Amino acid sequence: MKIEQYVTNIYNSNVTIVEKAGHILIIDSGLDPSKVKEIVKERVVDGILLTHGHYDHSAFCNEYSRLFKTKIYASQNIKDTLKDKEAIYSPKGEIIDNFENFVFLKGDCTIKIGDFEVKCYNCPGHSKCSECYIIENTLFSGDVIFKKSFGRYDLKGSNKEELLKSLLKIEQLDFDEVYCGHGEKSNKEEQLYNFGIYKRFLTRK
């Protein structure tokens, strides 16, 4: 499995491409569709995964879906974020209200997308619709955790207590590397070292 990561012009979020035998999954959709088309080239896009609904991660999801003729996979809670101009945090108040190509994930589950087996984990806190994915022992965490930090919980739809629960869930998952929604990749050893700090911060009075 090959993983490529690209930084967008929308708040420097990451778009991640996971490839296996010429087939790919695209994780998040903040990169201009024309640039993504150049990157994809002749490879087949089997699906688009959204880690959450904030605009820097979801902006062009429907454009990707139409361009590559594939479905968008996201938390069942993402509608409320995408339709809310305050919760989506788009630069000009843009919202997303077309869900005809969405597949909504209910709770923690494992799905097959082409030859990819994707383990999906509902991890609210940074947003009510945050979803983490594990593919072949690699965690794609969105904005729940970063290389040396965790997601904000002062946004509309955020919740400090839920974020702590999500971190405790991630701590128990089986993975090696971590690809985050912003910044550089990490690994489980580094995250386990940092989790003690995260938990102390999130439980302080």
Per-residue pLDDT reduced to its tens digit, 8-42: 999 999 999 999 999 999 999 999 999 999 999 99
Token pair listed for 107:
């709770």
Residue 167: its pLDDT value, please? 96
Helix axes 160-171, 188-203, angle to 10 degrees: 150
pLDDT tens digits along 73-125: 999 999 999 999 999 999 999 999 999 999 999 999 999 999 999 999 999 99
Helix count and strand count (H, E) for the chain: 6, 12
Quote the CA–CA distance of 49 and 106 in Å, as a whole number: 14
**Widest pairwise Cα distance in the chain:** 53
Distance (Å, whole) CA 85 – CA 92: 9
> For 144-168, what is the mean pLDDT?
96
Residue 205 has pLDDT above 90, yes or no: no
Which domains, and CATH codes, for the chain? 2-203 (3.60.15.10)
Mean pLDDT of the chain: 97
Q: How confident is the model at residue 171 (pLDDT cuts 50, 70, 90)?
A: very high
